[in-house]
Amino acid sequence: MIGRRDILKGAAAAAAMTAGPAFALRAAGVGDDWFERTLVIDGLGGIWDPYREEGVTRTSDRFWSELQQTGVDAVRITVYPVGNRADGWARYQESIAQFDSWFAANPDRLVKIRDAAGIAAARKAGKVGVILGTQDSSMIGPDLDRLAAMKADGVMTIQLTYNNRNLAGDGSIEPDNAGLSKLGRATIERIESEKLLLDLSHGGARTMTEAVEAATRPLVISHTGARALADHPRNASDETIRAVADKGGVVGLYFMPYLAADMQATSETVVAHADHLLRIAGEDHIGVGTDNGPVSAPFDAEAKAAMDRSQQERLDRGIAAPGEKVGVYPLVEEYYAVDRYERFASDLAKRGWSERQLDKLLGQNFLRVYGDAWGA
C-alpha cells in the first residue's frame, strides 16, 4: 500500500525543482526530509470533503489524496452543537451518530483517537487520526454525568464556552464579561476527573483567567491569536497565554481574520502572531489550530457564496464575533492550500525558527498535552 509519507516523498521530489515551501525550508537550513519526518497535529480544524457526493458517507478518493498530501497526522474536529439550543443533548447525539457512520465508512483512512498513543499508531498505519471534541458545554449544562457518556463516545476534549454566555460562563463576545460560574468550576473539575482535555477557546477574558486558575491539570486554548497584536475578543491576552503555559498547557494559533485589526490577515500576520506566542509562552507551549482544516474547498465563486450563506446564518443566530460579515472569509488566503502546514513552517524557518521549535509547534506540544490530559 502506498502511504501518506510515500506521497509526500513524491511531492517533495517535485517541489525540489521549484521555489516552493520545501525549497524555502532547505534554504533556511532545515533538513531535506524534515517535513516528511515531523508529526503534524491540527489542534482545531475540520475534515470536510468538498468533493463527496450528497448522501455518500465514504470519503472521495480526491479528498483522501489531498488529505495525504497535506502531511497532517491528526486533526481535532468539532462535535455539535455550538451555541445555546433547547435540544442541545439530542443534537449532540445526532452529531455523534453521524461521526460514527463516517468512521465506519472509512476504516482504512480515518481513526477515532482515544489516547495519545493512537496518533502514532494511525500514522504508522498510513491513516489520519481524528480527535473528537466540543466547542461548547451548552449540551452538558448541569448534567455533568453527560461528560462520562461523551468520553465513552470518544469525545476527548471539551471547550467550556462558545462566543455567547452559557451556564458555565461567559463567551468571548458577551458584553458583561462576567467570568466563570459555580457550575463552570464544577464542570472543569469533572472534565479533569474524567481525564478529558479542557479547552478555553472562545472564552471571555475573565472566564479564561478564572478557568486557568481553577484548572489543576494541563489545558489548551486550541485556536486563538495574540490580543497584544490584534485587540479582538477572540484573541488571548499575554497574561492568559502565560498562565496556560505555566499550567503545562498549549496555545494553538489559528489562520483566521481575527489576527488583523482590519480582518484582512495575511501570511505575514500569522507569522507575527507565531513569533509573539513563542516569546510569551515559550517553545514548549505553542501549537497550530488552524480553525480551517487540512483540505480546502476550491476558493471560487460557488465556495464564496456558500461561505456567505454560512456567515449570514451566524449573524442571524447572534453567534458571530466582531468583524464577521458577509464577504469576510474565515481563512488566510495564502495558507488556504493543500501545503498550508509546510508553507507556514517554511515562512517561520525563514524567520529563524529551528527544526526543534518547528517540531514542537506543528505537533509535539499538542501530543504531549494530550498524553498529560488523557493519561497513558
DSSP H or E run through 74: strand 74-79
C-beta of residue 358 within 8 angstroms of C-beta of residue 349: yes
Whether 111 and 63 map to the same domain: the answer is: yes
Whether 320 and 183 map to the same domain: the answer is: no
Tell me whether residue 157 is in a domain.
yes
Whether 181 and 168 map to the same domain: the answer is: yes
Instruction: Look up residue 301 and give its amino acid.
Output: A
Whether 98 and 166 map to the same domain: the answer is: yes
pLDDT of amino acid 340:
96
Tell me whether residue 53 is in a domain.
yes
Whether 196 and 311 map to the same domain: the answer is: no
Q: Which three cell numbers stand for residue 153?
A: 463516545
pLDDT of amino acid 296:
83
Whether 310 and 197 map to the same domain: the answer is: no
Q: In whole angstroms, what is the distance from residue 290 CA to residue 153 CA?
A: 25
Which pLDDT tens digit goes with each residue over 292-337?
A: 989 987 888 988 998 999 999 999 999 999 999 999 999 999 999 9
Whether 236 and 292 map to the same domain: the answer is: yes
With 0-12 / 13-18 / 19 or more C-beta atoms within 10 angstroms meaning exposed / middle / buried, residue 216 is exposed
Mean pLDDT computed over every residue of the chain:
93
Domain range for 261: 37-296+331-374
Whether 70 and 99 map to the same domain: the answer is: yes
Whether 180 and 213 map to the same domain: the answer is: yes
Q: What is the DSSP letter of 164?
A: S
Q: In whole angstroms, what is the distance from residue 292 CA to residue 256 CA?
A: 8
Outline where 44-107 has alpha helix (H): 61-70, 88-105
Domain total for the chain? 2
CA dist 109 → 86, 124, 232 (Å)? 35, 12, 38
Q: Which three cell numbers stand for residue 197?
A: 482535555
Which pLDDT tens digit goes with each residue over 25-57?
A: 666 667 778 999 999 999 999 998 989 998 899
Which pLDDT tens digit goes with each residue over 125-135?
A: 999 999 999 99
* Mean pLDDT along residues 254-278: 98
Please state the pTM of the whole predicted model: 0.93
DSSP H or E run through 149: helix 146-153
Tell me whether residue 24 is in a domain.
no
Residue environment code for 319-328, b if the CB has 16+ CB neighbours within 10 A, otherwise e: bbbebbeeeb
pLDDT of amino acid 303:
87
Residue 282's CATH number: 3.20.20.140
Integer Rg of the chain from CA: 19
Higher pLDDT pick, 282 / 25: 282
Whether 186 and 304 map to the same domain: the answer is: no
Instruction: Look up residue 374 and give its amino acid.
Output: W
Whether 312 and 254 map to the same domain: the answer is: no
Whether 324 and 344 map to the same domain: the answer is: no
Tell me whether residue 6 is in a domain.
no
Tell me whether residue 72 is in a domain.
yes
